[in-house]
């Protein structure tokens, strides 16, 4: 394991000269740079990142904190493209990635801030956080710049966020159903605390209101983004409210649960009931009928978040909210409602 002293001995230059030459500083002549570089190559020199980061606090490590990944994430597969997006941006900008996956059940888990501080993390990207999460407090007190994905904490808008316009997306999804003559539209939401859940709930309400449709609280259920719960909720819902002709689910996975429940109830999708999902996970286009849903790119989310944190580190700037595009994917789970109101 060659170190800088070895190549210093070999070339006769000082430690400093070697270091500077290898880092391509401009107060070393090209001639000696070449000598030093050649020696380094010959000795198979690789800098020790610990020593470097210890000395120069300019270490370029950015943390990706993934909070409480549910069992569902194996099926939804949103985190993987997100990770790829982050990784690509980081690699392009010479940042190191420190990955920290927090199992919500693990009480002994180190705090986010401890993780970042002990390895001198310069910035962090947080994903999967909830508005009532304990981490929010830690964040505010920490001096580490961070970017949140999909979280936009109401009231405190002094944060960097990458998200889509969930309100509008949910509005469009609901409106899509209304446009197909549906009047009794159920809404199965993921929760109450996740920002995306709050936003989608708002979009649903807006769409109803704008089209003069009454908001029936009985039509709104929570299924914790779980396929199984959505299945159960849907069954109960349609037994009690056979007048329903459409369901908007705040996630594709829940939509799958809903479709399965409808199938078991011998209600045909889309002939009897129309379904719209959210996320456009790979599964959405493969099931039959193919699920109409809101597409968003998790790769882009990760990528943009990494770019944002990188630019934040280069120059301090105002807090920023990046809104990525979404798109309604019209597939085969929505049909025109022929039932009379």
Residue nearer to a second copy on the CB measure, 48 or 156: 48
State in angstroms the smallest separation of the CB of 25 from DNA.
8
Nearest residue (CB) to a second copy, 53 versus 323? 53
Cβ 95 to a second copy, closest distance in Å?
Answer: 12
Stretch that binds DNA, among 40-48, 186-194, 282-290, 329-337 (CB under 7 A): 40-48
User: Minimal distance in Å, beta carbon 145 to a second copy?
Assistant: 16
Query: Should residue 17 be labelled a site residue for DNA when binding is judged by CB under 7 A?
Result: yes
Which two three-digit tokens encode residue 5? 């002293």
User: CB within 8 A of 244, min separation 6: which ones?
Assistant: 184, 185, 186, 219, 237, 238, 273
Which residue, chain included where needed, has tokens 């920290």? Answer: 100
Nearest residue (CB) to DNA, 31 versus 71: 31
If one asks whether residue 27 binds DNA (CB under 7 A), the answer comes out as yes
CA distance 31 to 13: 12
- Distance (Å, rounded) from C-alpha 249 to C-alpha 254? 6
Site string for DNA, 43-82 (x = CB under 7 A): --xxxx--xx-xxx-x------------------------
CB-based burial of residue 263 (10 Å sphere; 0-12 exposed, 13-18 middle, 19+ buried)? exposed
Element (H, E) at 275: strand 274-276
Tokens of 318: 């105002």
The answer to whether 297 contacts DNA (rule: CB under 7 A) is: no
Q: Closer to DNA by CB, 43 or 153: give it.
A: 43
Say which entry of a second copy, DNA, none residue 295 contacts (CB below 5 to 8 A, set by partner kind). none
| Residue 113 CB, nearest approach to a second copy (Å) | 8
Give the number of C-alpha atoms closer than 13 A to the C-alpha of residue 215, restricted to the C-beta side: 13
Pick 46 or 209: Cβ nearer a second copy: 46
* Terminal Cα-to-Cα distance of the chain (whole angstroms): 78
Closest distance of CB 144 from a second copy, Å: 11
| Residues making contact with a second copy (CB under 8 A) | 1, 46-51, 53-54, 59, 69, 73-75, 77, 79-81, 83-84, 87-88, 91, 97, 99, 101, 103, 106, 114, 117-120, 256, 282-283, 286-288, 299
For the chain, percent helix, then strand, then coil, each to nearest 5?
Answer: 45, 15, 40
Q: Nearest CA to 216 among 252, 185, 177?
A: 185
């Amino acid at each position: 394991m060659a170190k800088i002293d070895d190549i210093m001995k070999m070339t006769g230059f000082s430690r400093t000269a070697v270091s500077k030459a290898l880092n391509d500083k401009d107060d070393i002549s090209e001639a000696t740079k070449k000598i030093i570089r050649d020696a380094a190559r010959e000795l198979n020199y690789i800098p020790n990142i610990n020593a470097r980061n210890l000395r120069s606090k300019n270490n370029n490590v950015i943390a990706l904190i993934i909070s409480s990944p549910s069992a569902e994430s194996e099926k939804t597969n949103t985190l993987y493209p997100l990770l790829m997006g982050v990784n690509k941006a980081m690699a392009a900008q010479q940042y190191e990635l420190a990955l920290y996956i927090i199992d919500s059940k693990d009480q002994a888990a180190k705090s986010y801030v401890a993780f970042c501080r002990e390895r001198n993390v310069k910035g962090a990207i947080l994903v999967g956080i909830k508005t009532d999460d304990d981490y929010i407090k830690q964040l505010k007190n920490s001096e580490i710049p961070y970017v949140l994905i999909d979280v936009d904490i109401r009231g405190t808008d002094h944060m960097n966020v990458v998200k889509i316009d969930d309100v509008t997306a949910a509005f469009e999804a609901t409106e899509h159903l209304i446009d197909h003559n549906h009047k009794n539209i159920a809404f199965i939401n993921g929760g109450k605390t996740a920002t995306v859940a709050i936003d989608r709930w708002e979009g649903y309400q807006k769409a109803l209101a704008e089209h003069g449709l009454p908001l029936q609280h009985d039509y709104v259920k929570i299924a914790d983004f779980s396929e199984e719960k959505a299945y159960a909720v849907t069954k109960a819902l349609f037994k009690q409210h056979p007048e329903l002709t459409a369901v908007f689910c705040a996630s594709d996975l829940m939509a799958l649960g809903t479709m399965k429940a409808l199938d078991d109830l011998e209600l045909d999708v889309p002939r009897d009931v129309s379904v719209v999902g959210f996320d456009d996970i790979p599964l959405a286009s493969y099931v039959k009928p193919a699920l109409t849903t809101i597409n968003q790119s998790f790769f882009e989310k990760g990528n943009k978040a990494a770019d944002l944190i990188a630019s934040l580190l280069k120059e301090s700037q105002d807090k920023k909210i990046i809104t990525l595009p979404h798109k309604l994917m019209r597939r085969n789970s929505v049909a025109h409602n022929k039932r009379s109101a």
